[in-house]
Structure 1
Amino acid sequence: MSIEANKALVERYYHELVSGQRVDLIEELIAEDAADETRVGPGGSGTREDFREHLRWLWENVQDVKATVEDLVAEDDRVIAFWRIEGVHVGPVFGVPATGRPFTGYSISTLTVQDGKVTRYNVLPDRLGIIQQLVPAVV
């Protein structure tokens, strides 16, 4: 696939799957033996079920979740996504119990795409930036 096709797939991943909660797209967008490194660790092997678990966790803990791709950089089979997440904190996130507070967070993800499907996913979220919005500062 071309770099532009890979970038379009990643855009769909965030817009239609994550934000749109279109779990029916998992088979179309994610390879059967894909590795969600948030679940299996860097370099680990996995399955689509790892992606389902990750998304279920997200949708259960962040109400009205919206993921917006701000920029994409791609080379060969890799796409780097700079993206923003917005939502309401209704379950445990990064060790913080539900607060009911809205938040905005920024992340950088690396997605590997082969034969038109994501085969590997890793994300580096700004955990501190999110936690600072969820937990009021103690003065």
Structure 2
Amino acid sequence: MSAEKVVRQFFEKVRSGKEVEAAHYLMADSVLAHQITSENEVCIERTPANYAEHVREMIEVYGEFSLTIKEFIAQDDRVYVRWKQSGIHIGEVDNFTPTNKPVYEIASAVYRVENEKIVEYWIQIDREGIRIQLERNKELSVQ
């Protein structure tokens, strides 16, 4: 299976929250996850099991969210994906109590695939944009 197909299936099944257990056959046993936040790069190790749990946690916070791929570019063993995730704030996140209001995330990542499994990725998420939405929704909920 090509890198493009691996990442496409990963988004359709795992990242979307529709079939999180598919992480076990689409991700290597250990995946290097480079997380870039405000010019501070952190690299953590992800396993299929803890990635599946990570998606379940997103569902607990944002409900059955929608995931729209805005851009998808594949070249050799690398695949770039930019997406928009939209959900409803139903669970506590970053000390914000649920507001039951819409929240969306804009993010992108480059995935590296080896032997038909994701082995590494570099992700950037507009966390400040999410924080601003949560703050605004909190203010609207008080009114």
Mapped contact 1:35–1:119 kept (Cα < 8 A) = yes
Partner of 1:16: 13
Correspondence for 2:87: 87
Whole-Å separation in 2 of the counterparts to 1:8 and 1:83: 17
In structure 1, the partner of 2:38 is none
Task: Give the Cα–Cα distance (whole angstroms) in 1 for the partners of residues 53 and 33 of structure 2.
Answer: 10
Letter in 1 for 2:102: P
**Aligned partners of 1:96 and 1:79: how far apart in 2?**
33
Unaligned runs of 5+ in 1: none
Which blocks of at least 5 consecutive residues in structure 2 are unaligned? Answer: 36-40
Whole-Å separation in 2 of the counterparts to 1:6 and 1:27: 16
What one-letter code is carried by the residue in structure 2 that aligns with 1:82?
R
Structure-2-length-normalised TM-score: 0.77
Counterpart residue identity of residue 62, structure 1 = Y
2:57 paired with 1:60: no
Alpha-carbon deviations, 1:35-89, whole Å to 9, x = none?
A: 3445xx7444442233123112212111021222111223332211111101111
Instruction: Render the CA deviation track for 1:113-138: whole Å, top value 9, x for unaligned.
Output: 11111112332111122222222287
Deviation (angstroms), 1:95: 4.5
8 A Cα contact 1:96 1:131, kept in partner? no
Percent sequence identity is 26
**Contact in 1 for aligned 2:65/2:86 (Cα 8 Å):** yes
- Mapped to 2, the partners of 1:69 and 1:94 lie a distance apart of 25
RMSD across aligned C-alpha pairs, in angstroms?
2.4
